[in-house]
Structure 1
Amino acid sequence: MIIMAQKYSFLLSVISLAVLSACTEQPANLQASSPTTEVVSATTSVALAPVAKKVPYEMEIHGDKRIDNYYWMRDDKREDPEILAHLAAENDYTNAQLAHTEKLQAELFEELKARIEKNDDSVPVKKGQYFYSTEMRGDNEYPIYVRSTDVSGTNKEILLDVNTLAKDHAYYQVSGLDVSPNGQLMAFGEDKVSRRVYSVKFQDLASKAMLPDVLEGTEGDVVWANDNKTVYYIKKDLQTLLGYQVYRHTLGTPQSDDQLVYEETDNTYYTGIGKSKDGSVIFINHGSTESSGVSVIDANNPKAMPQRLVQREKGLEYDASKLGQYYYITTNLDAVNFRLMKVHQDELGDKTKWQEVIPHRANVKFEGVQLFNHHMVYQEREKGQTSIKVRDLTTQKEHTLSFNDPAFSVYMYGNGEFDSSALRVYYTSMTTPGTHYDIDLASGKKVQLKQQAVLGDFNADNYASERIFIKARDGVEVPVSLVYRKDKFKKDGSNSLYQYGYGSYGSTMDPSFSSSRLSLLDRGFVYAIAHIRGSQMLGRPWYDDGKKLTKQNTFNDFIDVTKALTTQGYGNKDNVFAAGGSAGGLLMGAVINQAPELYKGVAAHVPFVDVVTTMLDESIPLTTNEYDEWGNPNDKTYYDYMLSYSPYDQVKAQAYPNLLVTTGLHDSQVQYFEPAKWVAKLRDYKTNDNKLLFKVDMEAGHGGASGRFKGLKDRALEYAFFLDLAGKNKL
């Protein structure tokens, strides 16, 4: 199902971020009278929309019967010729319906691509005796991983050229590239299907020879023990795709001999692995939506077994960092918005020994900490805005780092050395391209290392960003981040409006820069991010008020933001467009059922729309991990509530906006058949002739196409769809 934010993969993502950065549809009444016993094949004329056959499938629970006419579209093996033919027919129909925009799509793709610097290097990050970075060259889709003995690039060594590995594959993704503590061996995971099941391979960096060891069916990451020959990795259940077993592998031995050191028996938990900053312990991280915990393994003992930091408890969340003999613990223990504690390593297992370092504050969310020999740096969020504070561990004096934009995002990354005198951060706003700084821990002075290059005539002064609050129907004020081009904007309701939202898993979509977005702003669009409930923009209570039995608040907030933005003159009520993906696709499905009249066009990417059926099926990947997010429909209270908003179940006979739906055949998070069924049902029910288009990437999964340029074609498709509807299809 939906992928959750991976807190331990941020360094790699930031490095990558630094590198990259008409016909109308047949009316519904005619469709309903068309034959529904056969799927339109890929060779059939695309003048008419594909009409899926109906095969009633009855499901009953809690005395309630539901009939799913399109359940037959599920094929876990992705091999059924009838289903593949139907998906191909959908692609043909979409291509035909958008044929008149092909030139616009091509021009947009070249426009998006032209803003990206082809030869681009990331900022080196120090780990051990080396500085690691990535290089992008020319039209390469993938990075080249390199390292050197100093920050200037002396004695540069190529570790991995992903372009060479990917050249014979339609999809290719590298994960978990990690070098042994002595710097001599390298591990990396590869996925050639986009199911996020990785094979881990190993290379001798001196000889460049690949080792015979291959670890199959893994999460893609390894953690090295300090003997430089032992690694820990997570193995997946290939049916549910849950990573639930931690194995220990010794190089030179078969995978079948690997030792199981931990097995997660509670299928509502995710499992992750990492290593302490000092390299002394390996962390096993246990995480569910409302509970979490940590176990530790001695990294110097290749036979050590895990020890719980403290026993897991329902509702208790914590993670840990280590400095010297103390563990620093970020926790919600008696602290809804979290606080920071510490405990001596000799007192593991007893949370009564935890000592408070940063107290809980009801209106400020504590978000994380970075530890250095002489300083502690911690991040908080107040009224939706992030702040970073530096505390001198000797004097206990503090200062807050300052930034200029009214709304921005800032992330700490690459801070792997305890003795560093500087903090590495990545900073961005909706008008400021991504910028990397080293900030002196004592003085707060910033040294800019790099800013994302935006080629062409980009000038940040041409754009303006605002942070406003909009009152929802229940009186709660919802933050909204806005950006527009100054000379194209009039606050008179004349601008087209693009509104984005997510609102699940506590994931906060902070305002950030997008060079692709300029193609909309330069054509007069106002771009808005609605920071709706279900995120943690206003702290943990903001999340709790948008999940399970309060999920409707997420949809209400998005709808109310739309109404207010048009009322206040930020957007034209007749030219409002909305987009969201994954759980944001569920958001799109819910709002077009509940307020379809507000939107001219909607893009729903890899949308999670069949909420009840999926959550009742524990064989579907990641389902059980989501009970604390959506509720367990085996409980009638949650079943009834989920059914009340489930986009697939709530499709009705009404006029719907123009709709572009995208998915990947190999999606492991939201299975392709959810949007396929949804589109088929919408075609049967909708009462107008607005476009309903379904684009299936037959080679990709949840994240779409791999490569830095291929993904831009998906963006160009969405933009062309919206621009055409807005009457702005001239370049």
Structure 2
Amino acid sequence: MRPVLPFLLAALMTMPNAPASAPTPPDAARKPHTVKAPFGATREDDYFWLRDDDRKDPAVLAYLEAENAYTDTVMAPLKPLQEKLYGEIVGRIKQDDSSVPYRERGWWYYSRFETGKDYPVHARRRDGAGIDALSIQAANARGDFAGEQVLLDVNALAADKGYFSVGDYAVSQDNRILAWADDDIGRRQYTIRFRDLETGQAFAETIEGVSPNIVWADDNRTLFYVENDPETLLTVRVKKHVLGTPVAQDALVYEEDDDSFYMGIGRSRDDRFITIGVESTVSSELRYAPAADPRAFTVLAPRQRDVEYDADHLDGRWVIRTNAPGADGKAATNFKLVTAPSDATSRAQWTDWLAHDPAVFLEDVELFDGFTAVAERSGGLERLRLLKPDGSQQYVDADEPAYSMGLSVNAEPESPWLRYSYTSLATPATTYELNVATGERRLLKQQPVPGYDPAQYVTERVWITARDGVKVPVSLVYRKGFVKDGTAPLFQYAYGSYGISMDPGFNGPVVSLLDRGVVYAIAHIRGGQEMGRQWYEDGKLLNKQNTFNDFIDVTRGLVQQGYAAPGRVAASGGSAGGLLMGAVANQSPQDYRVMVAQVPFVDVVTTMLDASIPLTTNEYDEWGNPEQKPFYDYMLTYSPYDNVKAQDYPALFVGTGLWDSQVQYWEPAKWVARLRDVNTGSLPVVFRTNMEAGHGGKSGRFQRFREQAEYYAFVLGQLGVADKP
């Protein structure tokens, strides 16, 4: 960490002398600034000056460094616990582990880690007699890499860099040319590079300012990519690059004029088409062109507000998942499946296949020659349904009351084997393959967790009734021997936005909490999609308060049922889940002893009024457009920064990344500064800024565990949990 320049610190803040036992936090300067809405409303924001788009303002950097120094001081007594937690977390990682290989175009692809190294090695082996997923895993476990071709050694690429991420890579259809996209800042502005896999020679050209999404055409020379707007970072243009030609001459393929849409590209399941998909919160549109001659793209069905769809192609037809209304005019809220001919250009050509079910939410579809796999939700749990050509159906079994199940990598549509993943809060991530024709099931891999015995842990699914009578599902896990007597500490996590479901999957670091007697809970609150599309609709826009109420009511319900002591509850959330933490801290601080808010979206109104900030315009249909007074007024009722008030707040650990492009660092910085002004409580508020990271924190598998160990130590210290398993 860079030292704070004394003269800058003195000019910016006052830090009175205090005993070591009571460090004094930084006191950010207040500078009057008025934020105006288009219809005339104004708000005063004394900490607006903390915004520096270039991340170069000495005063701003000095303030962030001072907050880091204060956090170091507060955390110093917990350093031994932090190191112990880090050792436990890393100790549960098989450091030389590898992924389950999958076969594609005559090669087996996988990623592996080497002991002590932060980043993966992406590699492949040629298919042949006696070569399969299990034999390759066995060879990797022995350290036998004979016959392996390394595609990317990310450790070598990341050498001497504070941050590094490979966002995507793709091999040309003839298996010869590798393209990949990397980011060495953390702002999600990627650079595409190329290498000849036969000669090892790098190509001279690089393409900057792109999204991590790349697709090859069939000629093995043309690469399609998505260009970002340099200011908003929105995905705005699809271009194509021909190897060996100047990047400046790359042809524009498609440009999206509506900045409320995201954009992505892909290849259809049968490799027949290249696709361009655009989607907003409430609308979708897909274009397709022959992969062998992708000069002209055809719209599958024109966009229409409140009609969403995604599509894939196999066996001479499009299979489309959509919420489009049927003949009765009623929207398929939980989605349905329809089919369309290969040359379809409108919804009039769609034919219903799998009907809409108000009790079953369709999430994903995988097409095979001999069957179709549908990932869906019912009763808040995931399941896989197999549709067979004869019209029969079957479901893939699960063995626990709370679990997560989903489609894995299925690269070959001609295979009779379905690969799927299974996990729970007590069961490490497991990959199976099921022969749909014979019913045979094979275990391909279970995530190794050294020293962990799943028999020592219990997972539960409970339902808590929220204040409006709605029942909210909660997934719980605790160590065997736990007694529900109202004395235990509780760590409650949730997200609750964008229709993203927080399913109960195994989380290795959480074991350190469970071994210390902590109960861990995931609250599946409204705003997610665990209970279907309506669950999402009931937790966004002018229904957002339901998200916060659900979280608070789950906490109170768990305490009432004896899962936790009233004064020993921790809460955690990140990004939009950080907004959740901020709102709950304002609305119900007495229910929590400590909170963790990572990269929190807490300055909702100001951010949503600024269309130059990345992601703002894409999210009007999630939060509302505050240029319209009804949404402005509603956002002001819950925006954490705007609702900080004089009251006792829980202890808070707030984290951010200087280069975050999704939730800019100044949002939590301003929030913490305002909390320091009015917080009447005595519990610490600490603010950690990673000066080299973006939205996902530090890169590298070990670095992020150091961050996690730090805030776990903070939480355990506040909950009064003994420093021993």
TM-score, normalized by length of structure 2?
Answer: 0.94
Match of 1:426 in 2: 421
Q: Could you tell me whether the CA contact under 8 Å between 2:16 and 2:24 is conserved in 1?
A: no
Q: Could you tell me whether the CA contact under 8 Å between 2:384 and 2:406 is conserved in 1?
A: no
User: Residues 578-605 of structure 1, C-alpha deviation per residue, up to 9 Å, x if partnerless?
Assistant: 0000000000000010000000000000
CA distance in 1, matches of 2:17, 2:102: 52
Q: Could you tell me whether the CA contact under 8 Å between 1:36 and 1:53 is conserved in 2?
A: no
CA distance in 1, matches of 2:170, 2:620: 33
* More displaced 10-residue stretch of structure 1: 54-63 or 379-388: 54-63
Change (3 A) 1:352 1:504: same
Match of 2:619 in 1: 626
* More displaced 10-residue stretch of structure 1: 581-590 or 361-370: 361-370
Q: Could you tell me whether the CA contact under 8 Å between 1:236 and 1:243 is conserved in 2?
A: yes
Match of 1:58 among 34, 42, 46: 34
Q: Could you tell me whether the CA contact under 8 Å between 2:100 and 2:444 is conserved in 1?
A: yes
Q: The residue matched to 1:574 in structure 2 has which SS?
A: coil
Change (3 A) 1:44 1:129: farther
User: Residues 450-472 of structure 1, C-alpha deviation per residue, up to 9 Å, x if partnerless?
Assistant: 1001112x211111111111100
Match of 1:720 in 2: 713
Q: Could you tell me whether the CA contact under 8 Å between 2:516 and 2:722 is conserved in 1?
A: no
**Structure 1, gaps ≥5 residues long:** 1-34
CA distance in 1, matches of 2:667, 2:576: 12
* More displaced 10-residue stretch of structure 1: 119-128 or 639-648: 119-128
User: Residues 430-453 of structure 1, C-alpha deviation per residue, up to 9 Å, x if partnerless?
Assistant: 111000111111233320001001
Q: Could you tell me whether the CA contact under 8 Å between 1:471 and 1:477 is conserved in 2?
A: yes
Correspondence 1:465 to 2:459: yes
Q: What percent of counterpart residues are identical?
A: 47
CA distance in 1, matches of 2:185, 2:89: 26
Q: The residue matched to 2:655 in structure 1 has which SS?
A: strand
Q: The residue matched to 2:661 in structure 1 has which SS?
A: coil
Match of 2:4 in 1: none
- The amino acid across from 1:280 in the alignment is R
Q: The residue matched to 1:612 in structure 2 has which SS?
A: helix
Change (3 A) 1:255 1:524: same
Post-superposition offset of 1:392:
1.8
Correspondence 1:514 to 2:490: no
Q: The residue matched to 2:43 in structure 1 has which SS?
A: strand
Post-superposition offset of 1:102:
0.6
CA distance in 1, matches of 2:376, 2:686: 42
Q: Could you tell me whether the CA contact under 8 Å between 2:281 and 2:622 is conserved in 1?
A: yes
Q: The residue matched to 1:585 in structure 2 has which SS?
A: helix
CA distance in 2, matches of 1:178, 1:559: 44
Change (3 A) 1:48 1:432: same
CA distance in 1, matches of 2:339, 2:449: 43
RMSD: 1.6
User: Residues 104-152 of structure 1, C-alpha deviation per residue, up to 9 Å, x if partnerless?
Assistant: 1111111100110011111001111111001111101000111012323
* More displaced 10-residue stretch of structure 1: 381-390 or 580-589: 381-390
Q: The residue matched to 2:701 in structure 1 has which SS?
A: coil
Q: Could you tell me whether the CA contact under 8 Å between 1:43 and 1:89 is conserved in 2?
A: no
Change (3 A) 1:45 1:255: farther
Q: How does 1:211-250 map to 2 (within 5 A)?
A: 211-250=203-242
Match of 1:129 among 106, 109, 114: 106
Q: The residue matched to 1:211 in structure 2 has which SS?
A: coil
Change (3 A) 1:90 1:646: same
Post-superposition offset of 1:701:
0.5
Match of 1:351 in 2: 347
Post-superposition offset of 1:408:
1.0
Match of 1:113 among 83, 90, 98: 90
**Structure 2, gaps ≥5 residues long:** 1-8, 137-145, 326-331
Change (3 A) 1:190 1:597: same
Correspondence 1:665 to 2:658: yes
Match of 1:416 in 2: 411
CA distance in 2, matches of 1:40, 1:440: 68
Q: The residue matched to 2:432 in structure 1 has which SS?
A: strand
Match of 2:319 in 1: 328
Post-superposition offset of 1:280:
1.1
CA distance in 1, matches of 2:418, 2:18: 60
Match of 1:380 in 2: 376
Match of 1:602 in 2: 595
Correspondence 1:172 to 2:168: no
Match of 1:651 in 2: 644
CA distance in 2, matches of 1:178, 1:225: 11
Correspondence 1:269 to 2:261: yes
Change (3 A) 1:321 1:42: farther
CA distance in 1, matches of 2:571, 2:379: 25
Q: How does 1:578-589 map to 2 (within 5 A)?
A: 578-589=571-582
Post-superposition offset of 1:636:
0.3
Change (3 A) 1:725 1:41: closer
CA distance in 2, matches of 1:614, 1:43: 36
CA distance in 2, matches of 1:516, 1:129: 37
CA distance in 2, matches of 1:654, 1:382: 41
Match of 1:38 in 2: 12
Match of 1:337 among 329, 334, 337: 334
User: Residues 43-74 of structure 1, C-alpha deviation per residue, up to 9 Å, x if partnerless?
Assistant: 99993110001001012333432100000000
- The amino acid across from 1:570 in the alignment is Y
Q: The residue matched to 1:296 in structure 2 has which SS?
A: strand
Match of 1:443 in 2: 438
Post-superposition offset of 1:38:
2.8
Q: Could you tell me whether the CA contact under 8 Å between 2:15 and 2:24 is conserved in 1?
A: no
CA distance in 1, matches of 2:402, 2:251: 49
Match of 1:523 in 2: 516
CA distance in 1, matches of 2:684, 2:413: 57
Q: The residue matched to 2:68 in structure 1 has which SS?
A: helix
Q: The residue matched to 1:709 in structure 2 has which SS?
A: helix
CA distance in 2, matches of 1:36, 1:682: 21
Match of 2:447 in 1: 452
Match of 2:175 in 1: 183
User: Residues 618-670 of structure 1, C-alpha deviation per residue, up to 9 Å, x if partnerless?
Assistant: 01111000100000000000000001100000000111000000000000000
Q: The residue matched to 1:588 in structure 2 has which SS?
A: helix
- The amino acid across from 1:546 in the alignment is G
User: Residues 286-315 of structure 1, C-alpha deviation per residue, up to 9 Å, x if partnerless?
Assistant: 11111112111221114x122110100011
Correspondence 1:482 to 2:459: no
Post-superposition offset of 1:159:
1.1
CA distance in 2, matches of 1:45, 1:412: 56
User: Residues 533-587 of structure 1, C-alpha deviation per residue, up to 9 Å, x if partnerless?
Assistant: 0001110000000000000000000000000000000111110000000000000
Q: Could you tell me whether the CA contact under 8 Å between 2:12 and 2:59 is conserved in 1?
A: no
* More displaced 10-residue stretch of structure 1: 546-555 or 152-161: 152-161
Q: Considering Cα pairs closer than 8 Å and 6+ residues apart, tell me whether 1 or 2 has the greater RCO.
A: 1
Q: Could you tell me whether the CA contact under 8 Å between 1:40 and 1:86 is conserved in 2?
A: no
Q: The residue matched to 2:181 in structure 1 has which SS?
A: strand
Change (3 A) 1:234 1:43: farther
CA distance in 1, matches of 2:101, 2:15: 51
Q: The residue matched to 1:210 in structure 2 has which SS?
A: coil
- The amino acid across from 1:462 in the alignment is Q
- The amino acid across from 1:292 in the alignment is S
User: Residues 693-716 of structure 1, C-alpha deviation per residue, up to 9 Å, x if partnerless?
Assistant: 000000001000101111001110
Q: The residue matched to 2:641 in structure 1 has which SS?
A: coil
